[in-house]
Structure 1
Amino acid sequence: MPTKLYITTIVVAGLAYMAAIRFMRIPPVPTLDLDPWWGPGEPHAEDTSIRPFRIDIAEKDMDSLKVRLDLPLRITSPLEGANFTYGMNQTTLQTIVHYWKNSYDWKQREKRLNQYSHFKTQIEGLDIHFMRVVPQLHENQKVKVLPLLMVHGWPGSIVEFYNILPLLTTPQDGSSVVFDVICPSIPGFGFSQSSVKQGLGQLQTAQIFLKLMKRLGFQKFYVQGGDWGTLVVSLMATMYPENILGVHVNFIMARTPGSMAKMLLGSVLPTGLVMDAKDENRLYPLGELFARMLRESGYMHIQATKPDTIGAGLNQSPVGLAAYILEKFSTWTHKANPHLPDGGLLQEDFPISLDEMLDNICVYWYTGTITTSMRYYAENTAQSEALGIIERIPCVVPAGLSSFPQELLDMPKHLVAHKFHNIVYYAEHSEGGHFAAMEQPRSLARDIHQFVMTVERGKNV
């Protein structure tokens, strides 16, 4: 080997080794202000009481929505054959707005939302809303009751959990556990107060929710989430392993140096060398994956940079808000939906009812939280360095993963194992997408039961 080539090889190998050492070294957990104040005014003693809350939208607010929906629609005719590939098809939007105006009954839907107990409590200067469903068991029902924190995503809300809650809070065939479920609204979403200061992102949410669970008397508990919920509960499991009995997610992703390197190497090396052949179609070709992610993430760039601009428009127009949110429900439930004239939304077999989707939209509309919910993207983008550090810290608590084929990003088990070092349960499903708790409640509930039973059996061995 020529001397220059030999020296170059040594230098490159040395640099690669130093880079590997740097990125594979486990960093310390970033420190947080343990007692920040996100509310208005100066910090003062918190009201730590748990206050009952009931969803009760005022008549004037319902009248205001009706007036806005009654305005003549300024519809732009869709391009021939475009379907949902340009976003919300406005012919479909016209049909949905007509239904919203003439058939949807908020007061009846409000009764459904109030079927479970709601509460508020002040944490770090904010009124944090949560829903709690405590199992009602008969004397002869011998099951173990365990606390479970469930965290929603965007553009979702606590509405995501109404289909799955009965399956988690009542005994199920083949399960020896049942759950005391707590579903909080992320600050700035729905009925939780929004911060008046910059800086409240995933890290801060994780701390708030830990304080919430402790205030409810739970020092140890299970956590579950999808979308933002996945990121928040994964942070909780990483930062507070002494409090988290197990973490279950249905949005499977990891951004560790190891997982990213494997994903890139697997795209160029022979099949089976880095990536199992059965998993390759979930990621490769990378060009198609990246193209889809770019196509579906334009909203993310806007919300991560200028959320208040688009929020001003959406907070003024319920029709605009519906178009913005429903387009996500269409595309994120099935990859083929953009090629359907109605985006699948009006199909009989669409997995989420129109009433349920309008419930979710109405929560955003009546609380006026679309802008504050979108700011969450900007806050987390500003904390990318700290979040990148935590991504490199292994999550060692027991983990359960539910894979749904129509999810935006669904990383194979051996890639996310670089983040979750103790995967005790993994399930792949034949159908379902991003809103799993709404689309496939039975499948997701079954996974949660099986995951927790696996963890509990392991503790008793």
Structure 2
Amino acid sequence: MGAIKFLVVGVLVAGVAFKVAEKMLVIPPIPAIDPNPWWGPGQPQPEDTTIKPFKIKIPENDVEDLKTRLGLPLRLTPPLIGANFTYGMSQNTLEQIVTYWKTKYNWTEREKKLNQYPHFKTRIEGLDIHFLRASAKVTEKKGTKVVPLLLIHGWPGSFVEFYSILPLLTKPQDGSDVVFEVICPSIPGYGFSQSSAKQGLGLMETSQIFLKLMKRLGYDKFYLQGGDWGAIISNFMATMYPDNILGVHLNMVAVNTPGPNIKLILGAVLPAGIVVAEKDQDKLYPLGDKFSMIARETGYLHLQATKPDTVGAALNQSPVGLASYILEKFSTWTHQNNPHLPDGGLLQKDFPIPLDELLDNICVYWFTGSITSSMRYYAENFGRMSATFLMDRIPCEVPAGIAVFPQELLNQPKNFIAHKFHDIVTYTDQPAGGHFAAMERPQLLAADIHKFVSAVEKRR
């Protein structure tokens, strides 16, 4: 009798599991969004489609105000002995950086550098959207094709992330048949792009805005590239608008669907090579170490996804606080061993991003007062995880290129990513680099983009 009950319970459990799996495996439709929303203040107005030149010119009063705030006595707490960066930004390192910022960093000169490329603004869905344009340098090299590329940043980055890689994309490179006309926008609420006055502007809405931007510039078909939020926006655009996207290249991707999740668990108990290749073991295991690292490094995410305005008020008041918050991410996300260094690696000679470039990025956040609106992007997206999860379950048939940098916080093997991207043209394990690949390893990332796009163009 007990065996029969056990059998009946087993059949019922199996039936429920089958129904759940059946439902999860059904490809959902792309969630609908308003095709013409108004994110600006007040009532909708007729759309102004003009594209206006824009020059970064911070008022002298704002520059002097920054100097005054940096000149205030620091109220720092001495770090714990031997803690290094494991408790976050070391106050000793922060003091050194603030001293450099006050005495050696020259915003006037850095502003000229940021203006080396032409900048523009155009109004889309009620918001002034900022972008820079880096034109392709066509030379006498025969057979080189100019193709448009939308290059999208993340958090806590900005368009500043791409200044080292732009020359490598806009000029012909050995072994490449293409050169890029690069459009680099600021996500709404970041830097010089206006922030939404209303709730609800998330990844799908940004994807629609950026498609409208590219069409306004005359590009009905183009390539995409991004990391961090830029990778997810690129993912969404390629999924939502496959007829407009020639190819999508990502340097951060994680597919959260039943297939990869089941493989993740099976790979933890089965010998290497059955589910997860030997060479991919370090990307995922030991699971306990990976989960511990993710839990440790994503406290900011929970805060920004729930109460961004609270911490935003503090960061927008103090440039020292803003620098501390942002630079700690550049430390840890560049190399996972950096928290164990006294300066978090930031002041080491071999740190891959010059301090001036780090301060350029911070100054863009400071002068535009955009740290709060940039963090609200987490609340808009993680408060709507159902839509994000649905998008992961919708296959992307657009040609895809994946660059895997070993110090990225989260990487997946090719057979995991293939559950989402059905046409992976290139998948490259890079020899070095982390989350901010365009700043850290511009040569590696540029070469991978060239390789991917050249391969796709040969197929067309």
TM-score between both structures, scaled by the size of structure 2 = 0.98
1:407 touches 1:432 (CA, 8 Å); kept in 2?
A: yes
Equivalent-residue separation in structure 2 for 1:255 and 1:442 (angstroms): 30
Alignment partner, residue 144 of structure 1? 145
2:137 touches 2:179 (CA, 8 Å); kept in 1?
A: no
Equivalent-residue separation in structure 2 for 1:35 and 1:254 (angstroms): 30
For 2:89, give the aligned amino acid: M
1:84 Cα deviation (Å)?
Answer: 0.3
Counterparts of 1:412-451 in structure 2, within 5 Å, are 412-451=413-452
Matched position secondary structure for 1:363: helix
Counterparts of 1:314-333 in structure 2, within 5 Å, are 314-333=315-334
Counterparts of 1:379-458 in structure 2, within 5 Å, are 379-458=380-459
Match status 1:299 vs 2:300: yes
Equivalent-residue separation in structure 2 for 1:52 and 1:5 (angstroms): 73
Alignment partner, residue 186 of structure 1? 187
1:391 Cα deviation (Å)?
Answer: 1.1
Alignment partner, residue 310 of structure 2? 309
Alignment partner, residue 177 of structure 1? 178
1:279 Cα deviation (Å)?
Answer: 1.1
1:202 Cα deviation (Å)?
Answer: 0.6
Alignment partner, residue 59 of structure 2? 58
For 1:365, give the aligned amino acid: W
For 1:319, give the aligned amino acid: V
4+ runs deviating over 6 angstroms? none
Counterparts of 1:116-135 in structure 2, within 5 Å, are 116-135=117-136
Alignment partner, residue 162 of structure 2? 161
For 1:426, give the aligned amino acid: Y
Match status 1:341 vs 2:378: no
Gapped regions of structure 2 (runs ≥ 5): none
Alignment partner, residue 10 of structure 2? 9
For 1:86, give the aligned amino acid: Y
Equivalent-residue separation in structure 2 for 1:229 and 1:147 (angstroms): 16
Identical-pair percentage? 64
1:415 Cα deviation (Å)?
Answer: 0.6
1:159 touches 1:360 (CA, 8 Å); kept in 2?
A: yes
1:223 touches 1:248 (CA, 8 Å); kept in 2?
A: yes
Counterparts of 1:9-408 in structure 2, within 5 Å, are 9-408=10-409
For 1:109, give the aligned amino acid: R
For 1:183, give the aligned amino acid: C
Equivalent-residue separation in structure 2 for 1:168 and 1:271 (angstroms): 38
- Aligned CA distance change for structure 1 residues 262 and 140 (closer, same or farther; 3 Å): closer
For 1:332, give the aligned amino acid: W
Deviations 1:194-243 (A, max 9, x none): 00000001110000000000000011100000000000000000011011
Equivalent-residue separation in structure 2 for 1:367 and 1:199 (angstroms): 22
Equivalent-residue separation in structure 1 for 2:60 and 2:279 (angstroms): 55
Matched position secondary structure for 1:245: strand
Matched position secondary structure for 1:443: helix
Deviates more, 1:342-351 or 1:272-281: 272-281
Gapped regions of structure 1 (runs ≥ 5): none
Deviates more, 1:273-282 or 1:405-414: 273-282
TM-score between both structures, scaled by the size of structure 1 = 0.98
Matched position secondary structure for 2:11: helix
Equivalent-residue separation in structure 2 for 1:280 and 1:4 (angstroms): 41
Deviations 1:92-112 (A, max 9, x none): 000000000000000100111
- Aligned CA distance change for structure 1 residues 217 and 356 (closer, same or farther; 3 Å): same
1:276 Cα deviation (Å)?
Answer: 1.4
Say what the alpha-carbon RMSD is for the aligned residues: 1.0
Deviations 1:378-421 (A, max 9, x none): 00012211111111001110000000000010111111111111
Matched position secondary structure for 1:374: helix
Matched position secondary structure for 1:2: helix
2:283 touches 2:413 (CA, 8 Å); kept in 1?
A: yes
2:232 touches 2:253 (CA, 8 Å); kept in 1?
A: no
Equivalent-residue separation in structure 2 for 1:102 and 1:120 (angstroms): 33
For 2:226, give the aligned amino acid: G
1:252 touches 1:402 (CA, 8 Å); kept in 2?
A: no
Equivalent-residue separation in structure 2 for 1:276 and 1:142 (angstroms): 38
Deviates more, 1:266-275 or 1:177-186: 266-275
Report the count of equivalent residues: 459
Matched position secondary structure for 1:267: helix
Equivalent-residue separation in structure 2 for 1:170 and 1:273 (angstroms): 43
Equivalent-residue separation in structure 2 for 1:79 and 1:6 (angstroms): 59
